[in-house]
Structure 1
Amino acid sequence: MTSTEDSNPSLELEEKRYEFSGHLLKISTFRGTYLGVSAFVWEPGLVLCRYFENENIDFTGKKVLELGSGTGIVGILAVLLGGDVTLTDKAYVLKQIEYNVVANIPTTSRHRSKVRALAWGNDQGNFSSDFDFILGSDIVYNPPHFPGLLQTLLHLCNTKTTVYMSSNLKAREGAVNFHEELLPKQFNSELIHTSGNNYIYKVTKKAPHDEH
């Protein structure tokens, strides 16, 4: 990542280690102000990773997309659990994700990971709608982004897609409204796990005849 460091002389890498499902993850954050909230590993992501571990989730042979990957920790674990994973975020975050992909995914498995830009409400048309799983952790925190997020989810999902969303309902503006009012209009949503203020929902797209 020399080019990144050269273009951002104030960049500081901070590495923390986590272990899930027998995999040691070394996750670095680029602590430059230009990354904002993306330069942190947030608790909902760790809760989702622990859920995958506790439930023995296996993504082998499955096509997976992560929204708002940030550091990439959730998507990277999904690769290590066998998935063919596309990690997405805004373009300026991708170098951080790529750095962590290289640091954590063996070269023999790296062909099952892709890192691509996806701005909600704008770029979803560049992606297919045949994903088996969509992952999102701590992506529900800014109400002006909700329409674009919903538009993106509607495009990416088919009726067989399973979405795992992990959100901090009490600490994120609008999160309760999103999960209890906005999302259920077009998706079936089931609360499957809680840890403190963090809630994991299993979400599926409603079939046309199910929509009201």
Structure 2
Amino acid sequence: MSGLGDELPREVGALFSDTYTEESRYKFCGRELSIIQHFGANLGVAAPVWDAALSLCNYFEEHKLDFKGKKVIELGAGTGIVGILVSLLGGLVTITDLPHALPQIRKNISVNVALDHIPNVCALSWGIDQVHFPQDYDFVLGADIVYLKETYDHLVQTLLHLCGPRTTILLSSKMRKEHGAMDFFQNILPQYFNVEIVKRNAEGDINIYRVTRFQN
């Protein structure tokens, strides 16, 4: 859960005043994952496994999505749990975040992924670095990356670059009213993409959206 810049929402930043490490175990799609989370001010919102990421992993399992041999990029990966799962399912994965989050991602990859299928790990600042990445991904993934209004235009620029005519974008998001998440998905993103809700978790207030380019 991080994209452009290190600023945290004020109420979230207070959660990371203590520094400690926690390891959590998950099981999706018949794969067992061990995810290390380095809580503290350095990583901030990139440290935890957010519920939106778990919802996206559950969505993969429920719909038996086929990632084998598919070219996949994850944005704002945080712990890397989503990209790691997709890699274990046979995807050709690039996992991205800001530079300060990459050591945590690499650590989690080393714990969970065999050497013969290691994902690429790259820094990507939205609105800046996307030009160094291909434009033909099969899937672009993001979990809880819509939470800072000042990054929304940069995120759209990045998605437009990464998304070709056959790309599927899957975005899982906690629908935080105070951060304008609904405005992003209902008003901003539809100016550039087809946007549809494919799953709604009412209890957790989490939506998963399927996003595709307009067809000529």
Does 2:76 match 1:61? no
Match of 1:193 in 2: 199
Offset of residue 172 of structure 1:
5.7
Match of 1:37 in 2: 45
Aligned residues of 2:135 and 2:164 also touching (Cα < 8 A): yes
Looking at structure 2, the residues matched to 171 and 72 of structure 1 have their Cα atoms a distance apart, in angstroms, of: 26
Q: Quick one: structure 1 residues 24 and 141, their matched pair in 2 at CA, closer, same or farther if it must change by over 3 Å?
A: same
Query: Residue 45 of structure 1: SS of its match in structure 2?
Result: helix
Match of 2:213 in 1: 205
Q: Quick one: structure 1 residues 140 and 172, their matched pair in 2 at CA, closer, same or farther if it must change by over 3 Å?
A: farther
Query: Structure 1 length as normaliser, TM-score?
Result: 0.90
Match of 1:143 in 2: 149
The one of the two structures with greater contact order (alpha-carbon pairs below 8 A, sep at least 6) is: 2
- Provide structure 2 residue ranges, at least 5 long, that are not aligned to the other structure: 1-17
Q: Which amino acid aligns with 2:132?
A: N
The one of 48, 70, 82 equivalent to 1:74 is: 82
Looking at structure 2, the residues matched to 171 and 60 of structure 1 have their Cα atoms a distance apart, in angstroms, of: 36
Looking at structure 1, the residues matched to 177 and 78 of structure 2 have their Cα atoms a distance apart, in angstroms, of: 18
Offset of residue 108 of structure 1:
2.7
Looking at structure 2, the residues matched to 169 and 33 of structure 1 have their Cα atoms a distance apart, in angstroms, of: 24
Offset of residue 171 of structure 1:
5.5
Q: How does 1:1-212 map to 2 (within 5 A)?
A: 12-110=20-118, 113-170=119-176, 173-196=179-202, 197-207=205-215, 209=216
Looking at structure 1, the residues matched to 149 and 163 of structure 2 have their Cα atoms a distance apart, in angstroms, of: 21
Query: Structure 2 length as normaliser, TM-score?
Result: 0.88
Deviations 1:191-212 (A, max 9, x none): 11111211001100113x4xxx
- Provide structure 1 residue ranges, at least 5 long, that are not aligned to the other structure: 1-9
4+ residue segments displaced more than 3 Å: none
Aligned residues of 2:147 and 2:176 also touching (Cα < 8 A): no
Q: Which amino acid aligns with 2:213?
A: K
Q: Among all aligned residue pairs of Structure 1 and Structure 2, give the percentage whose two residues are the same amino acid.
A: 47
Deviations 1:118-166 (A, max 9, x none): 0001100110101000000100011000010000000111111000000
Aligned residues of 1:57 and 1:81 also touching (Cα < 8 A): no
Looking at structure 2, the residues matched to 157 and 170 of structure 1 have their Cα atoms a distance apart, in angstroms, of: 25
Aligned residues of 2:77 and 2:96 also touching (Cα < 8 A): yes
Looking at structure 2, the residues matched to 39 and 15 of structure 1 have their Cα atoms a distance apart, in angstroms, of: 11
